[in-house]
Amino acid sequence: MEQALYELLEGINRAESQKAVYEAAMDFILAALRCEKVSILLFDDAGVMRFVAWRGLSDGYRQAVEGHSPWAADSLDAHPICVADLGAVPADELIKTILAEGIRALAFIPLTSRGKLLGKFMIYFSVPHEFTPDEVRLAQAIATQLAFAVQRQKGEEALRQSEERCRMLVQQVKDYAIFRIDTHARPMTWNEGVQRILGFTESEFIGRDVLASIFTPEDQASQVLQKELETAARTGSANNDRWLCRKDGSRFWAEGSTTALRNEAGELVGYSKVFRDCTERKLIQSELTSVKDRLAADLKAMTRLQALGARAVQPETDVSALFVEVLEAAVAIARADRGNVQLRDPETGGLRIMAQRGFEPSFLKFFQHVVDETAACAVAMGTQQRVMVEDVTKSPIFEGTEALRVLLEADVRAVQSTPLLSREGKVLGIISTHFDHPHRPSENELHFLDILARQASNALERTQADEALREAKTKLAAANEDLDKKVKRRTESLNETLHSLETLLYTIAHDLRAPNRAMQGYAHLLLESHSQSLNDEGRFYLQRIIDGALRNEALIRDLLEFGRLVHADFPCHALDPAQNVRAVLHGLESEIAALHATVEAAGEWPKVIGNDAALSHVLTNLVSNALKYRRSGVVPQIRIYPELSGQDSYSYVRLCVQDNGIGVPAEQQETIFQLFQRASNVDIEGTGMGLAIVRKAAERMGGDAGVDSKVGEGSTFWVELRKASSP
Amino acid sequence: MNPPANTPVLLYVEDSLDDRVLFAKACARSNARFKLRYVEHGQQAIDYLGGAGEYANRAESPLPDGVLLDVKMPILDGFAVLRWIREQESFAHFPILVFTSSYQHSDIERAYAEKATAFLTKPSDFQALINLTGALWECFAFPNFQIGPLETLPQFKRP
């Protein structure tokens, strides 16, 4: 039996396919167990028992019994089942079908591998058959071998299929170059991507020493491939992003990775490489980056220009700070290595360096004051246009000049000079930027330099104008100061005059009144004590002396009052004019009574801004006048009342004193308020100062005084004062 | 009204002879029987009140019951005298009537600031002077008669 099983093993091991395994197994089963029919059934993925191979079974039979199994798919203890005579068991539909196929005896032999039920094989006999234990053991042994083979074949098949799928997939991928290389970097596989990206056909690629050639000469020189493989071996994988060369030598940007491949023992067996052609993206990216850089540079330039522009409209105080700023902006905009700003010296006509960056003293000394045309800046000044020298060694401007030697010593290979032009187009100065390598600034950079030059010119012109303005201001200030001093001196002398005037007024008050008093007093005594020794004429003269002295006194008093109104401090505040009216009427009580005059004071009295004493004085004056300038034979009727006035919103209050007196001729209604002017229709004594005092007092209180009158009917004198803000 | 037991003494400090004469005449007219004493300037007033020199004899130069004080005077003016008097403890509440031809505000304010009892303006009208002396007599001659505010003196409504 061992010999027989060995044969079976040989047979099924030789089998290269599942089918061959089944055929070999069935040949052996028919021979070894001497049965007439045989079949092999396996559980499919859905757990249904299906025929995979058979001998001597009709299609109808297979269809009828397929799916039947004495064991569940997950059964762990499936044992062989033998039926010696189907005719002896109760016949159901299934049994009838089996019998109809000419089968009288059969056995189910489970195929299990590592405890798992895979399926079964069946043996059939056309006559009743008693199964011996040996037969069953043999069948089980066959089942074991078969199950093992089936299992192995199944695994190999799956692997084969998966490998095939994978290979097909890889081979058909066109966007990626995917291939394996051995440890000597020789390609072992190829795919469409290799053809498409690298340009190698399968035969040109596999097994050939071509891998090094896809690296750029620079990378080949620096052993990039070796380093990449070392990294992959060490860390598992390595980055593959780099410029590579196609078969035709053209370059492309590859992105991908290299992965180390190891066998089960962990030994390095090769590498897989995957990459794709990202040239387009790379180019777009680098284009984007450069656009971004350029935009950032432009933005920076514009920001600088804007800041400079903002400064240009402000009064510039520090010119040297302005030059430094302009220079920094120019160097930044042109992305230059050095630079300087020169100003035209109006005396020599040459250019002087006002600010510089990156130059040694020897250079500065040489170019400190440029007068001839052996430099770019001087040419720019002469032509009033920008001069660009892309390479100083090839420029006619510097050819054979000392300047060239100095420039080269200072590492200057390229220079541009942009003139600063005034509004009238005259050169104010030059901005130059210098480069260590032959260079020509981009159009964009030149455009910004133009703007910078314009703004710098504006700021410069403005600064120069400011300086002139400042100078003029200083002169003006000096003149003003002079004037101030003069005014101050004049004011002082005027104050002195005023002071002496006040002293004079005081002297008048005191000294002039004393003799007046004496004259009046003695005349009085004379008239009283010695009138018997005088005749009427003498007494008349004495009375005239007394009257004259009294008049004189009144005049002095009014003069003093007027002087006081003009010069004295005059504090004003809110007053209730009703109180002043009351006090005034009280003061004039006896006069009013003596004349049997009627005085009416009525109305709502708004508060006014004024000086208490002055207001009382004014009102006394007006009421006195009303009593004094009465019509003969007419009892004085006086009405005192307030009236809101003022053009805007009644901000003034008129205090009116209305009488039924003689009135004031229309043409004199203004002149009576002037000093010593009296109305023509009065024959009563007066100083001619009363109304002048009234108006002056009103003016000092921020108001006015006036009259409305008709001769023969009466007058309304008023004093107008500011209304105090309510309440 | 009964005349006072002791005749009030009034010291009139005045440099103007006219004013002194007219004041005396007015007193006579108004029956103001002051015992009048005169000095002609501030220094004399201080000497008088201090009992110095020729004023040492109080029988001849009695301490006055009040001082009528002109302001504008040679040697020492009225304000200086006023200040001196108020600095003397014994004269702290002594009646001092400033009597001047000025009615300037500044003078009036200054007089009261220096603690004058009253400020009187010399009347130009002789009749007014007579009335004034009469009122003064009443003030000094009758003990119950208090010198009130300026306005209570009939002649001293401000012009």
CB contact under 8 A, B101 and A509: yes
A524 in contact with B, Cβ within 8 Å: yes
Q: What is the dihedral of CA A584, A590, A596, A597, to 10 degrees?
A: -10
- pLDDT at residue A267 above 60? yes
User: Is there a contact between A273 and A256 (Cβ–Cβ < 8 Å)?
Assistant: yes
A514 near B CB under 8 A: yes
Q: Which pLDDT belongs to residue B149?
A: 52
Asked if pLDDT for residue A441 goes beyond 70, the answer is yes
Q: Which of A92, A118, A91, A86 is nearest to A104 (CA)?
A: A86
> Which among A112, A99, A126 is positioned nearest to A71, based on CA atoms?
A112
Q: How far apart are CA A688 and CA B79, in angstroms?
A: 35
Which residue from A minimizes the CA distance to B151?
A587
The predicted-structure confidence for A72-124, as pLDDT tens digits, reads as follows 877 778 889 999 998 888 888 888 888 889 999 999 999 888 778 889 999 99
pLDDT in tens, A278-299: 888 888 888 888 878 877 877 7
The dihedral region occupied by A302, where left means phi > 0, alpha psi between -120 and 50, and beta the remainder, is alpha
The percent of residues above 70 in pLDDT, for chain A, comes to 96
Q: Note the pLDDT of residue A649.
A: 62
Q: pLDDT by residue (tens digit) across A588-623?
A: 888 899 999 999 988 888 899 898 888 988 999 999
In this complex, is the C-beta atom of A553 within 8 Å of any C-beta atom belonging to chain B?
A: yes
Rounded to an integer, the average pLDDT of A60-67 is 88
Q: What is the pLDDT of residue A655?
A: 92
CB B129 to CB A521 under 8 A? yes
Shortest Cα distance, chain B CAs vs residue A518, angstroms:
6
Pairing of strands A637-645, A598-601: parallel
Give mean pLDDT, residues A385-413: 87
- On whether any CB of chain B is under 8 Å from the CB of A564, the answer is yes
Reduced DSSP (H G I as helix, E B as strand, rest coil) percent helix, strand, coil of chain A, to 5: 50, 20, 30
How many percent of chain A have pLDDT more than 90? Answer: 12
Q: Do A517 and B102 touch (CB under 8 A)?
A: no
Mutation pick from A516, A520, A529 vs chain B, by most beta carbons of B within 10 Å, is A520
Q: Are A244 and A210 a contacting pair, CB within 8 Å?
A: no
The answer to whether the Cβ–Cβ distance between B122 and A521 falls below 8 Å is: no
Euclidean distance between CA atoms B117 and A611, whole angstroms: 27
> Among partner residues A521, A564, A587, which is closest to B126 by beta-carbon distance?
A521
Two structure tokens written together for A78: 């499936």
Return the pLDDT at B157: 40
* Distance (Å) of CA B117 to CA A268, A684, A707, B147, B150: 132, 39, 43, 8, 9
* Bridge partners, A107 (sequence order): A82, A123
Look at strands B96-100 and B66-69 and give their pairing. parallel
CB-nearest to A521 from B22, B100, B105 is: B22
Residue A661 confidence (pLDDT) above 80: yes
Extract the tokens encoding B115. 């603690």
| Minimal CA separation from B53 to chain A, in Å | 31
| Yes or no, beta carbons of A550 and B125 under 8 Å apart | yes
Task: List CB contacts (< 8 A) between B127 and chain A.
Answer: 524
Model pLDDT, residue A647: 67
Q: Collect all residues with Cβ–Cβ distance below 8 Å to A709 and sequence separation of at least 6.
A: A663, A664, A666, A669, A715, A716
Rounded to 10 degrees, the C-alpha dihedral A395/A397/A400/A405 comes to -80
C-alpha span between A603 and A626 (Å, rounded): 19
Predicted local distance difference test score (pLDDT) of residue A317 = 57
Nearest CA in chain A to B157: A587
Q: How close, in Å, is residue A509 to chain B by CA atoms?
A: 6
B124 or A57: whose pLDDT is higher?
Answer: A57
CB proximity A620 to B under 8 Å: no
SS (H, E, C) A578-623: HHHHHHHHHHCHHHHHHHCCEEEECCCCCCEEECHHHHHHHHHHHH
Give A473 to chain B, closest Cα distance, Å. Answer: 47
- Chain A CA closest to residue B28: A525
Distance from the Cα of B36 to chain A's closest Cα (Å) equals 19
Look at residue A650 and give its three-state secondary structure: coil
The verdict on ipTM greater than 0.85 is: no
Closest CA–CA distance from residue B26 to any residue of chain A (Å): 9
Q: Return the structure tokens found at B42.
A: 């501030």
Residues of A in contact with B123 (CB under 8 A): 517
- B100 with A510: Cβ contact below 8 A: yes
Q: What are phi and psi of B53, to 5 degrees?
A: 55, -125
Instruction: Measure CA A673 to chain center.
Output: 71
In angstroms, how far is CA B122 from the centroid of its own chain? 11
| DSSP string for A127-155 | S--PPPHHHHHHHHHHHHHHHHHHHHHHH
Which of B16, B105, B129 is the closest to A514 by Cβ?
A: B16
- Chain A: residue whose CA lies nearest to B159: A557
Label residue A385 by pLDDT band (50, 70, 90): confident
- A chain contacts of residue B159, beta-carbon cutoff 8 Å: 557
| Residue of chain B whose Cα is closest to the Cα of A514 | B101
Distance CA A41, CA A49 (A): 6
Closest-CA distance of chain B to residue A665, Å: 30
Q: Considering chain A, what is the average pLDDT of its residues?
A: 85
Whether B37 has its CB under 8 Å from any CB of chain A: the answer is no
Residue B87 forms contact with A (CB below 8 Å): no
pLDDT digits (tens, 9 = 90+) for A311-327: 655 555 577 777 888 88
List all residues of chain A from 567 to 586 with a beta carbon under 8 Å from chain B. Answer: 568
A190 pLDDT higher than 50: yes
* CB-facing half-sphere around the CA of B153: CA atoms within 13 A: 28
Asked whether residue A500 carries a pLDDT value surpassing 90, the answer given is: no
Q: What pTM value is reported for the model?
A: 0.38
Cα gap A409→B129, rounded to integer Å: 114
Poorest-pLDDT segment among A184-198, A270-284, A388-402, B134-148: B134-148
Cis peptide before B143 (omega within 30 of 0): no
Probe site for chain B from A517, A584, A617 (most B CB atoms < 10 A):
A517
- Following DSSP, what letter does each residue of A150-206 receive, concatenated? HHHHHHHHHHHHHHHHHHHHHHH--SEEEEEEETT--B----HHIIIII---HHHHT
pLDDT tens digits, A531-589: 888 888 888 888 888 888 888 888 887 777 777 777 667 788 898 999 899 989 988 88
**Mean pLDDT in each 10-residue stretch from start to end of chain B (159 residues)?**
68 90 90 89 90 86 90 88 87 85 77 85 85 85 57 45
Q: State the pLDDT at residue B155.
A: 46
Q: How many CB pairs under 8 A join A and B?
A: 58
pLDDT at A659: 93
Q: Do B104 and A564 touch (CB under 8 A)?
A: yes
